[in-house]
Each structure stands twice: as C-alpha cells, then as structure tokens.
Structure 1
Amino acid sequence: MTKCVANTLLDPNGFSQKLLAKNFVLEYFKDPRRGYGAAVGDVFDKLRKTKIANPVGPAAEQFGGNGSYGNGAAMRIAPVALYCANRDKSELIKLVQESSLITHSNTLAIHGAVLQALAIRQSLLCDPKEKFDGLSFLQQLKTDIVELEKSNDPDLDAHHNAYEIQLSRLQNLLEGKIEPSDENVLNMLGHSVEALHSVPTALFCFLKNTSQEAEKPFRATLEYAISLGGDTDTIASMACAISGAYYGEEVISESLIKHCEDAEIIGQLADKLSEV
C-alpha cells in the first residue's frame, strides 16, 4: 500500500483519490490473504464492486458510520512526507487526509497519519550532523497537532484534543518526569492497532533512541519498538520511517535491507519522490 501511495503521487496526470483507490484495490486483490485486516478487505471489495464510484464511501460506512481509527493510513504515509518535504505543510495535510479517507474516515486515524507524516517530514529537514534536540523536535510537532485539532468540536467530539494529550504524555516520558519504563510507555502511549495508541509510541521509539545518541540509533529504534510488543510490525515500521528519514539510508545495514520486500523498487520510488 505504501508503494501505491508513492506511485499515485508520481502519476503523470497528478494525484487523485480515485486513482489511489484503484491502485489500492488492484494491490489488495493480488494477495488478499497477506495480512490485511478484515474491515479494510470489505472496503476494497465494495470499491471493486461499485467500480470506485465513490472512493471514500465504503470507508465512511464502517463501524456504524464512525469509520476505522486504526493505524493503517499512518503506516503507509511516508511517501507523502517525502513528496512534501519542500512543500507547504498545508499541502501535506491535504494529501494525507485525501489518502487516508479511502480506508480510514475516523478523525483519530486521519490525525494519526498527519502526525506520522509531519514527523517524517521534520526528520527529513533535520541535519543529522548537528546535535539533536528531541524536545524541540517534539514541541514543533505538538504545535502543529494542536493547530490541527482546533478543527474538532469539543462539544461533539470526546477526543477533540486526543493527540495533544498523547504528546504531552510522551514529553513527560522523554523528559524523565515519568520513568520511561516499558510498563509506563505501554500504559501511557499504548501499542495497539489504534492510531492514537501506536503513532505516538512510534514517535517515542525514535526520540528515545535518537536523544540518547545510541551507537546504532536506527537499529536501536527498531529493536526497542519490537521489544514493546503489541502491533510490533506497524509500530516498528513507523518508528523506522522517522529514523530513516533523519539518518538516511546509509545507516541501514545490508542485513536488514535484504529482508525488506521490494527494497530496490522502494529506493527508486523514494529517489523519484525527492525529485518532483
């Protein structure tokens, strides 16, 4: 699905929800048993049957009209961050929202994807040769998320400032105001398939291992994310997307890359996205 996002952004005719939905459907039905959630399978089935008459319709109908609040949209969002590295944040947010709505219409899922994309973009714009200030990095993201969550109605949405709260908890763990034990990280940030309880966790995995200037920070981020358990593949993927954007591909060992599916193709797509 990440490749679908990248290829759609690179399409000569420009990005569109309908084209991305079509690419998702084609990719899904190549191998529907590879580990996709049952709910998203229903979305792609309806999109195919309706010939994508409404790219966001099936997702909006899910879970009693509340939509999915999972982390699938955030997990695949890295290409948007790379594409928007030197573009305005408003364009990034718009593209994240449009790409997320095809499968995840719940605000918590969309805002989680925005947070992940902003973190990757911010990492891309950092200079890894300069001393990393994790708290400043986090504060910028928090400022952006607070602005984003202003669009939520506090009278109608019980989770109107959910990510602001999560990032405040993350800050307390990062500063050591609360002991960053595994138990506290899991209790405060979570490690589930919900975007709210996995995207901030992935961000913490990156900040914890970058702020401490680990000898092999990318690998340390990966191993720490896995050690927390739960939705490990998604959380580790998101954490490493942020870390990889910060350090660059040269810190990723060949022993890891050879186990990544379509690594060469993804590298080529990344190069193209950085050039457009």
Structure 2
Amino acid sequence: MLGAIIGDIIGSVYEFHNTKRKDFHLFTPKSRFTDDTVMTLAVAEWLTEDRSHGKEELVRRMQTLGRQYPTAGYGGKFMRWLYNPKPEPYYSYGNGSGMRVSPVAFYAHSLDETLHLAELSAEVTHNHPEGIKGAKAIASAIYLARTEATKEEIRSYVEENFLYDLHRSLDDLRPAYTYDMSCQKTVPPAILAFLEGHDFEEVIRLAVSLGGDSDTIAAMAGGIAQAFYGVPRKLATYCYALLTPPLRTILDNFEEMLGCRESDPFCLERFVEAQETNGKYQQALVELEHGHKTTHWIWYVFPQLKGLGHSAYAQYYGIADADEASAYLAHPLLGSRLREAAHAVLTHGGKDIEAVMGGHIDTLKLRSSMTLFDAVCPNDVFGKVLDTFYKGNKDELTIERMKKR
C-alpha cells in the first residue's frame, strides 16, 4: 500500500504540469499527498477496523477521513458524494476506484477474496462496470505480484479476464497521451508501467512520464511495483514523513495487522550512520566542549524541521514534525547524544553563541533545533539553551511550521 502512496506523492507535482521525461525530480518542495492517498488509507482503515467488510462502514470511513482533508484534490462528483448525508454510487468509471484499491490486495488471503473486496471498495461510488473492472484489475495484479507470479503471468491474467491490451509500448502511447481520468485510459498504462519497469523507481518514473493523470497512474503502478519489488527505503521514509500523524497511524495500524510494520519508519538510522561515520559525533562533541565549531555536522547533530533549509543535507536530515522529533528523542542513542551536545553548548554560557557555533548561520540552526525539541519536550535542556543564548526567544518559523503540520 505504501507503494501507491509514494506514487501519488511523486506524481502530485506533475498532474497538472505534465512531463514526458523519465529523468524528472522525484520530489520537489511542492510534493504532497492527494485524494488518492486519503482514500487509499480510508480503505485500509476499513479493512483494519471492520472485519465484516460492510459497505456502510466503508462509506463512513471514506466520508469521515475525506472531510478531514477537503483540499486533497477530489473530483466534483466525488466531492458532492463526500458531503452527502445519504451518499449513493454515481455510476462512475473514473480511476478513483483503481487508485484506492491497493490495501485490498495486500489484505486478502486469496485471489477470489481480492476480487470480491475490490468490487465492494469500488461500487460504493464507482458502480459502472468499467469502474469495477479497473479496481479488480489493479487489485488482482497486486495480489498476483505479491504471491510471486511472473510478469507474463500477470499480463496474461489481466488480458484474459479484463480484456485490456497489455502488448502495447509506453513509448508508443506517450507522444499522444493526454489527460484522462477514466479507468479505461489509465489502468492499462499503469499496469504497462509496471510491466516495463525493472525496479520500483523505474516503474514510478515510467508512470509519471506518460503524462495525463500522473499521480493516479503512478499510485496504481506503485501498488503493483511494491508487491513485486518492495519499496526503496529512502522513498518510503520521505513519503511517510509527508503524511500527517493521523494518516501515519492508519498506515501503521494496517501494516501492524499484516505483520509488516517497519520498526523505524522515519529511518532515524540515517542520523546514527552520519554521526558514526569517521567519528563525526565525537568530533562535534570535542568542538562544542572547546567552545568553537570548525567542521560541518550541524544537520545531523542538531537537526531542524524539514523545509527550513534548501540544501540536500537539510532535506535529507530534516525532521518531519513533532512525531519524528519525539521518536528522535526516544531513540536510545540519538536522544542521549542530543542532550549531551546541548549540555556541552550550555557550558559556554558567558560566550558569544556565534563564536561557539562558528558563525551566524549555524547559530540560527541551533535555535531552530532547540525550538523544535523544546516544543516536544519542554522543561529540558533545550529550553535552557534558548534561555541562555537567545533570551528565551524561539524560532518563529519553526513554531509556525509545526502548527501547520
């Protein structure tokens, strides 16, 4: 399921600004989850919480979660359905049924159950035969991929049972391909992207490079690619961090139910690895104890919120929000080291903080970092650093971004 979310987030930038290239940036400052992710997680929540798999409960989950994210990018008809006190299916053959179906295929214990649940998940809105067919085609491809079917077996099954032509080439389709939200025009290309790709990332790049409804095509392709290849850790970590805490909770609960929850979803080991390389943390601690920073380690010793800096280091070592900051503090090594480094700074209370941190820029980064961790753990050493060197003044941009998250 996370594969579909990754596809959605990567494709989100290109949905209305199509690219026909495969060498685009996977992530930009505008990358975000859309309605595809929200509804995928609504289906996951339904499967997790309602073991009877009733339609009324699915509708309730979709409406409740969807209304919490009113600007996620829903289509007009679906938006009206979302807020209708008596929602009824509206005979749609749009690809909304295919983009949200991936949890079904990871949950089901057989192909028959996959097809049954896919139809249920579709027909509460997309009860047109093509809408149901699209959902069943994507779900069956994912189920077959995760049960070790070959690509040719998946191609043959989908062609024989859903009559999609999967012997075309994306290179042939790409030049004339235009925006279309129907299952008929998006489900086959999504499956073709999976069939032509050689790893997870290439599948996503192929799906987006087609143009058109990029986020949804990539979401459908990403679900199949996850089942076949697994998900690269860096992509999973980046996209997990872009989810809101409530959405992360749904994902965590679903993966825990399936027994595949990642023990370190934020990939905090990236900080451990950086600190351990060539003794970087010990070097940083020595510099702080001597009262003069001279080498480059600020990003992974005093991390700040993602998005405050624009360098590759700032993005890679950026903290997503209060959840990741709390996890950082709870880490048996990182939490203790952060406090140790902050205490080392405090020993220079009578000095100019810019002299201690080696310049103005890192002085600002230290304040941002201390503001972040003081917010999730008040009355700790972080607040003392702010009081001692910044007269208690916190970084307003950090506070503002935390409120938005």
Helix, strand or coil at the partner of 1:198: helix
Distance 2:179 2:115 in 1: 24
| Count of aligned pairs | 219
Pair 1:248–1:181, CA change in 2 (3 A): closer
Which residue does 2:47 correspond to in 1? 9
User: Paired residue for 1:110, among 128, 132, 136?
Assistant: 132
CA distance in 1, matches of 2:191, 2:252: 23
> What's the offset of the Cα at 1:136?
2.9
Q: Which residue does the alignment assign to 1:205?
A: 193
Give deviations 1:216-255, integer Å, cap 9, x for gaps: x111111111111100000011111110111123566456
The letter of the residue matching 2:158 is L
1:194-213 deviation per Cα after TM superposition (whole angstroms, max 9, x unaligned) = 01111111100011013xxx
Q: Say if 2:174 is the partner of 1:141.
A: no
Map of 1:269 onto structure 2: 254
Cα deviations across residues 244-273 of structure 1 (Å, max 9, x unaligned)? 111123566456435652585425413413
1:24 and 2:85 matched? no
Q: Tell me the SS of whatever aligns to 2:83.
A: helix
Give the CA deviation at 1:33. Answer: 2.3
Equivalent residue in structure 2 for 1:83, among 91, 107, 112: 107
One-letter identity of the residue aligned with 2:65: E
Do the aligned partners of residues 126 and 256 (structure 1) sit closer, same or farther apart at CA in structure 2, a change above 3 Å counting? Answer: farther
Aligned in 2, Cα 1:221/1:191: closer, same or farther, shift over 3 Å? farther
AA aligned to 2:98 is A
8 Å CA contact 1:191–1:235 kept in 2: the answer is no
In the other structure, the counterpart of 2:173 is 184
What is the TM-score normalised by the length of structure 1?
0.71
Shift of 1:9: 1.2
Displacement of 1:43 in angstroms is 1.5
Offset from partner CA, 1:163-216 (integer Å, 9 cap, x none): 41x32xx22x2xxxxxx35343565x8762101111111100011013xxxxxx
In 2, the alpha carbon distance for the partners of 1:218 and 1:20 equals 30
Please give the residue correspondences for 1:26-175 in structure 2 after superposition, counting only pairs within 5 Å.
26-46=64-84, 48=85, 50=86, 58-59=88-89, 62=90, 67-84=91-108, 86-87=109-110, 89-126=111-148, 133-143=150-160, 145=161, 163-164=162-163, 166-167=164-165, 170-171=166-167, 173=168
**Correspondent of 1:246 among 222, 225, 228:** 228
Whose radius of gyration is greater, 1 or 2? 2
Separation in structure 1 between the aligned mates of residue 234 and residue 222 of structure 2, nearest angstrom: 10
If asked which structure has higher relative contact order (CA below 8 Å, sep 6+), I would say 1
Question: Is the partner of 2:125 in helix, strand or coil?
Answer: coil
Alpha carbons of 1:260 and 1:219: their partners in 2 closer, same or farther (altered >3 Å)?
Answer: farther
Distance 1:139 1:4 in 2: 31
Counterparts of 2:145 and 2:51, CA distance in 1: 29
Q: Distance in 1 between matches of 2:257 and 2:222?
A: 20
In 1: Cα distance, 2:210 partner to 2:132 partner: 24
TM-score, normalised via structure 2 length: 0.50
Q: Secondary structure at the match of 1:193?
A: coil
Please give the residue correspondences for 1:221-232 in structure 2 after superposition, counting only pairs within 5 Å: 221-232=203-214
Structure 1 residue 34 displacement after superposition: 1.8
Between the two proteins, what is the percent identity of the paired residues? 26
State the distance in 2 between where 1:81 and 1:254 align: 19
Separation (CA, whole Å) in 2 of partners of 1:20 and 1:183: 39
Q: Secondary structure in 1 aligned to 2:93? A: coil
The question of whether the paired residues in 2 share the 8 Å contact of 1:69 and 1:195 is answered with yes
Q: 1:242 to 1:269 in 2, by over 3 A?
A: same
Q: In structure 1, the residue corresponding to 2:52 is in which secondary structure?
A: coil
Specify every segment of 5 or more residues in structure 2 that has no aligned partner in the other structure, as ranges: 1-38, 261-405
